[in-house]
Amino acid sequence: MLTSRYLGDFFALLVGALLPLAFAPFGWYPLAVLSPFLLACLWLDVSPARAGWRGFLYGVGMFGVGVSWVNVSFYSFGGMPLLAALGLTAGFIFILSLYPLLLGWFITRYFPQHTFVKWLLVLPCAWVFLEWVRSWFLSGFPWLSLGYSQIDSPLAGFAPVVGVYGVSLAVIFSAGVLVTVGLMGRWRILVLSLLPAVWVAGWLLMQESWTQSIDNPIKVALIQGNIPQEFKWLEGKREESVRRYAELSQQNLDADLIIWPETAIPWFYEHMRTLFEWMALQHKNAQVDFLVGVPYSTADGRYFNSVTNVSSAPVRFYHKHHLVPFGEYIPFSRFIGAILNFLNAPLSEFSAGESVQENLFAARQSIGISICYEDAFGERVRTSLPEATLLVNVSNDAWFGDSIAPHQHLEIARMRALEAGRYLLRATNTGISAIINPQGKLEALSPQFQVHVLRAEVHPYQGVTPYIQWGDIFVVLLTAGGILLGLGLRYKVRQPLV
C-alpha cells in the first residue's frame, strides 16, 4: 500500500515532465490530452491532501522541464550568483506548481464520487479557469497553457472563436472524456463519441475565413542583427550594433517596411537623432518606412521600452505596457529591492505604457505593436484590433540562450496571429524571426544566432474574429459558471460511473 502510494507520487512527477513535449519545439500535441488524463487517473480514490500533493509534483515536473530556461536569464545574462539563480528558479517553479495542487485538492475534496459532473464539467472548467487566473495573477505567466500546444492540431480551429483558453478547454475536455470512458460500466460508446465530435468541430472551424485581405501586398524586411546579449548594452559596442542594423537596412531599401527588433538601438531615442534623420532620408529617397525598437526617456526621469515609426505619418511611440517582473521592473521593490541588490541582480526599472495606445502607422497600414513577452497575452494584443491591419511583435529572446524558450515563444506568437486573423511579423535580435500568416502558419523563418534579413510579401487584413470581438470573457464566464453549476449539482448527481 505504501509502495503504491509513493509510486503514484513518482508517476505524477513523471507525467508532468512529459507535458512540455506537447509544446514547441517538440510538438507532440496528443500528449496535451494524455498527460492530464494520466494525472486524473492518479487522483482516483485518494485523499484531497494526496491529490493536492500529486498535483504539486505534476506542476514541478511540468514547469521544471517546461520553463527551467528562466535560470539562463537569471544566471547567464542576469549576473546572479549560481546558487541565487537556482534558488529563484526553484521558487518560481514551486509557486507555479501551486495551481495544479489547488486543482487536485479541489476536485477530490468537493467531488469525491466519480460522476459525469466531475470529469466532463468540473475538471475542464476548473483547469482552464486556473490557467486564466495564472495569466494575470501576480503580473501573470501564461506559459504552457494547454491551448498553445494545439497550434498544429485540429483543435486550433477554436482559437479565432474562443481564443487559446477555449482551445485549452477542448483539450482538457478530451482528457475528461477518456477518464469517464475508463470508469463507465455502460454507455461507453456514446460518451467516447464526444471525443471525435470535439476534434471534428475544431477541424470544421479551421475551414472558416473570419477576415479578408485588403490592398496590395507589402514587401517587408525583418532585420536580425544577432547582437550577443553580453555585448548588447556595453558602451563600447553600441556604435557597432547600430552600424550593423543600418548597413543591413541599407541593403534592403527596396522593401516597403523595415523592422528592427526590441531595443535594437541600445540607447535612448533622444541621443540618436542623427540615426533617425538618416532613416527619414531613406524614407524620402526610397519610400521605405521603418519600425524600430528603442528605449525612450522623459523629462521627469521615466524611461520606456518602446517602438517608434519613421514614415509619412507623424512620429509616434508605442511604450511597452506589460513589463517582465524582475527583468524590467522589481515587483514589491520597497520590500525586496534590498534583498535583490544583495543577490547582485542587475535589474532595470522601466515604466509601463498606457494599457490602450494608438497604433503606429507605417507602409500605409495601421499596425498593432507588442513587445517581447506581451504577445503571450491575447487581451493585450487585442487592444490594437480591429483597426490594425498588421501585427508586429519585436523581441529579444537572446535572454534565453539556446533553450526551448524561443521556440515556445514563437508558438505563442502563432496563436496570436490565428486569434486575430492577421499576419504577425516577428522581428528578433537573435532569432527566431518569423512571418506568420492569419491561419497561424509559418511562411518564413530565420535561423537562430545568425545575422539575417527575413524578406517576405504580406497582405494587410481586415475583419473581426469572434475572439477579437469578445476576448476571453466568454470562456471565463463559461468556466466559472461550469464550476458553480458543478458545485450545485454535486449533491443531486450521486450516481457514480462504476
Residues with a known catalytic role: 262, 320, 372
At which residue does the C-alpha cell 535580435 appear? 429
Secondary element (H or E) of residue 39: helix 31-42
Give the 3-state secondary structure of residue 349.
coil
Give Cα separations from 363 to 102, 424, 460 (angstroms).
Answer: 49, 15, 10
**Dihedral pair phi/psi, residue 114, rounded to 5°:** -90, 100
In sequence order, which residues have a C-beta less than 8 Å from that of residue 254 and are 6 or more positions away? 219, 286, 288
CA–CA separation, 55 vs 291, rounded Å?
45
Is the torsion defined by CA of 327, 329, 335, 339 positive or negative?
positive
CA angle, 55 as apex, 139 and 45 as ends, to 5°?
150
* DSSP code per residue over 111-135: --S--HIIIIIIHHHHHHHHHHHHT
* DSSP code per residue over 163-215: HHHHHHHHHHHHHHHHHHHHH-SS-HHHHHTHHHHHHHHHHHHHT---SEE-S
At which residue does the C-alpha cell 545574462 appear? 77
Q: How far is CA 221 from the centre of its chain?
A: 24
Q: How far is CA 256 from the centre of its chain?
A: 29
- Are the CB atoms for 55 and 39 separated by under 8 Å? yes
The DSSP symbol for 8 reads H
Give Cα separations from 288 to 185, 190, 429, 494 (angstroms).
Answer: 68, 60, 21, 68
CA–CA separation, 271 vs 319, rounded Å?
18
